Amino acid sequence: MNLKHTTIPPGESVDLERFDPADRCGLSSKEDSEQLLQADVRDLTALQEIFAARKERALLIVLQGMDAAGKDGIIKHVMSGINPQGVDVHGFRQPSAKELAHDFLWRESKVLPQFGRIGIFNRSYYEEVLVVRVNREALEAEGEREAAESWHERYEDINAFERHLVRSGTIVLKFFLHLSKEEQRKRLLARLDDRDKLWKFSDADLDGHMHWDAYQRAYSEMLAGTSTTWAPWHIVPADRKWVSRAVVGEIVLSALRDLPAEYPKPSKERIEKSALLARALEGEAEKGEKPSG
Amino acid sequence: MNLKHTTIPPGESVDLERFDPADRCGLSSKEDSEQLLQADVRDLTALQEIFAARKERALLIVLQGMDAAGKDGIIKHVMSGINPQGVDVHGFRQPSAKELAHDFLWRESKVLPQFGRIGIFNRSYYEEVLVVRVNREALEAEGEREAAESWHERYEDINAFERHLVRSGTIVLKFFLHLSKEEQRKRLLARLDDRDKLWKFSDADLDGHMHWDAYQRAYSEMLAGTSTTWAPWHIVPADRKWVSRAVVGEIVLSALRDLPAEYPKPSKERIEKSALLARALEGEAEKGEKPSG
């Protein structure tokens, strides 16, 4: 798999037109890709157990992308099979009145993964420089709001927040699922045409489609402004679901592979005490119940 | 599989000696049992999607049992494969100072599953009538505490709390993993002997083993006092892991099977509006990007 072009270099401007949403990242076929994903999920499952046991680091996965870009599918196909005890998924849509009465990083801060756990944000505080921005700019254009906000300050706050998380031991992986407008159109149509999928459709999904160019601009600037050395953005071609799933699986796996792959080493005292306890248990009279299974 | 004896009838006293921790519940072999579990997990996965889409009910699974009874393994083996976006696992060990400054149902109340989601409590407020009770009674016996608390009042509070949850649309499934003292001894020894498992061992695990009889009494009374028509206890033979996993899988699956197995039906208005939106999308000029994958 070729992941060379999927990481956005910090400090560079981003032209989304230069990234092909239908790119295969060197994957030859759907079948090969699914096999690779399966193998990666197996390895992920094993490494996650050690990660959970060591409790030294946390892993935060941020998923962003237009509606129907495949965020739910990534969670289902990449993270299923992993022990649910080690994974927390949080979705962030319309904030509540209480959440709006706090700073824009508050609701995510409350549910950050603890050491040993993987947290997945299905959308996140990045919505604050995406949907919030597009809507405000639409109102500004109609003269219903004054003065452009400084989105740059929000980037700065996000970057400082993530730097703090990384310094404290959290690994932050950010994925932008890059979908073409035409593929989104097809997927939204499929939802509208299938009564078993219609529940997934919200009228708001269409807003994004109608304001496509404004969203692409907001995404470009966001990606350029918040791809940092400590938490770079990965741009994932999303027109083929089997490509995006394999790419995300591979990047998550490689982050875990960079960590020590051993269960926590007990201290000398711990080992000595355990030997004592084991001897006591061994000496205990057996009670006659001897299940063989 | 024979699950007749696994549900504790409300209002009856419970003699744990009468339940065999090594019972096979009619399962012929480990292989058969694992195949059954695999099939059940597949069905669970499919039904969970509909459950999540309907958002009409929540499912709360409470796991209790002595240390090394297999609670973690149940979560891993029964719930892996299910979309992690629909499952929240919460463990409750030693409460924090802040949690102790609240009523004993508070910390669990805050993380109850919302409609459409499955919440798993790995231990729960039941610890309040188990470890808390055993420790207090030990202090009382040594004359360091006065007067026995009324554990009966706690059962009443728990029952009323669960009745409220069930009335509000939550399905409450409670599993007691019934392990023999001898099998616990073996499993604790295995943890002590294997340096890759030693991290899982805590000295507190041994306390439970030392006060085995007091715990069994506390469990018996708790099961009798809190098995209700709205939230009965299931007693799961736990000496064979393949039995307990298959039993829990089967009971969880059957709870989901009792619910409507269809995706939410859209309203007439919704269907009409969707048709309009679909026509608008169909009319949209294609942009030339035609991914084939």
Local structure of residue B264 (DSSP, 8 states)? P
pLDDT one-digit tens code per residue, A28-55: 999 999 999 999 999 999 999 999 999 9
Find tokens 């990242």 and name the residue: A25
pLDDT one-digit tens code per residue, B239-290: 999 999 999 999 999 999 999 999 998 889 888 888 888 888 998 855 444 4
pLDDT band at B196 (very low <50, low <70, confident <90, very high): confident
**Identity of the residue in A91, A274, A290 whose CB atom sits nearest the CB atom of B201:** A274
pLDDT one-digit tens code per residue, B64-94: 999 999 999 999 999 988 999 999 999 998 8
Pick among B85, B186, B286 to test the A interface (most A CBs inside 10 A): B85
Q: Is A282 in Cβ contact with B199 (below 8 Å)?
A: no
Whether chain A has a CB inside 8 Å of the CB on B206: the answer is: yes
B71 Cβ contact list (under 8 Å, min separation 6): B63, B64, B65, B122, B123, B177
Find tokens 């072999």 and name the residue: B29
| B58-65 and A87-91 strand pairing | unpaired
Residue contacts between A and B (CB atoms, under 8 Å): 168
d(C-alpha B133, C-alpha B130), whole Å: 5
Domains of chain B: 4-266 (3.40.50.300)
Ranges of residues in chain A whose predicted pLDDT is under 50? 287-293
Residue of A nearest to B85 (CA): A89
What pLDDT shows up at residue B206?
Answer: 87
- Please check whether residue B170 is in contact with residue B112, taking contact to mean a CB–CB distance below 8 angstroms: yes
A283 Cβ contact list (under 8 Å, min separation 6): none
Residue B291 pLDDT > 60: no
Q: Is B181 in Cβ contact with A265 (below 8 Å)?
A: no
Q: Is B181 in Cβ contact with A263 (below 8 Å)?
A: no
What pLDDT shows up at residue B293?
Answer: 41
Whether chain A has a CB inside 8 Å of the CB on B288: the answer is: yes
- Please report residues of B whose CB lies closer than 8 A to that of A183: 289, 291
Selection from A228, A201, A218, A54 nearest residue A136 by Cα: A218
- Please check whether residue A117 is in contact with residue A58, taking contact to mean a CB–CB distance below 8 angstroms: yes
- Please report residues of B whose CB lies closer than 8 A to that of A196: 263
pLDDT band at B113 (very low <50, low <70, confident <90, very high): very high
Whether chain B has a CB inside 8 Å of the CB on A185: the answer is: yes
Residue B3 pLDDT > 90: yes
| Packing angle, helices A268-283 and B181-193, rounded to 10 | 150
d(C-alpha A232, C-alpha A236), whole Å: 13
Whether chain A has a CB inside 8 Å of the CB on B125: the answer is: no
Whether chain A has a CB inside 8 Å of the CB on B183: the answer is: yes
pLDDT band at B31 (very low <50, low <70, confident <90, very high): very high
What pLDDT shows up at residue A240?
Answer: 98
Pick among B56, B90, B196, B252 to test the A interface (most A CBs inside 10 A): B196
Find tokens 């709360």 and name the residue: B60
Tokens of B195: 């340096």
Q: Is A89 in Cβ contact with B75 (below 8 Å)?
A: no
d(C-alpha A74, C-alpha A76), whole Å: 5
- For the segment B203-208, the average pLDDT, to the nearest whole number, is 84
Selection from B231, B216, B211, B100 nearest residue B161 by Cα: B231
Q: Is B293 in Cβ contact with A199 (below 8 Å)?
A: no
CA distance A137 to chain B (A): 24
CA distances (Å), origin B21, targets B7, B81, B243:
14, 27, 10
Selection from B108, B62, B38 nearest residue B255 by Cα: B62
d(C-alpha A81, C-alpha A252), whole Å: 14
Task: Point out which residues pair with B120 in neighbouring strands.
Answer: B61, B89
Query: Helix, strand, or coil here: B134?
Result: helix
d(C-alpha B135, C-alpha B259), whole Å: 41
Query: Helix, strand, or coil here: A157?
Result: helix
Find tokens 């310094």 and name the residue: A167
Whether chain A has a CB inside 8 Å of the CB on B243: the answer is: yes
Q: Is A291 in Cβ contact with B180 (below 8 Å)?
A: yes
Q: Is A275 in Cβ contact with B192 (below 8 Å)?
A: yes
Task: Point out which residues pair with A225 in neighbouring strands.
Answer: none
Residue B145 pLDDT > 70: no
pLDDT one-digit tens code per residue, B212-243: 999 999 999 999 999 999 999 999 999 999 99
pLDDT one-digit tens code per residue, B115-127: 999 999 999 999 9
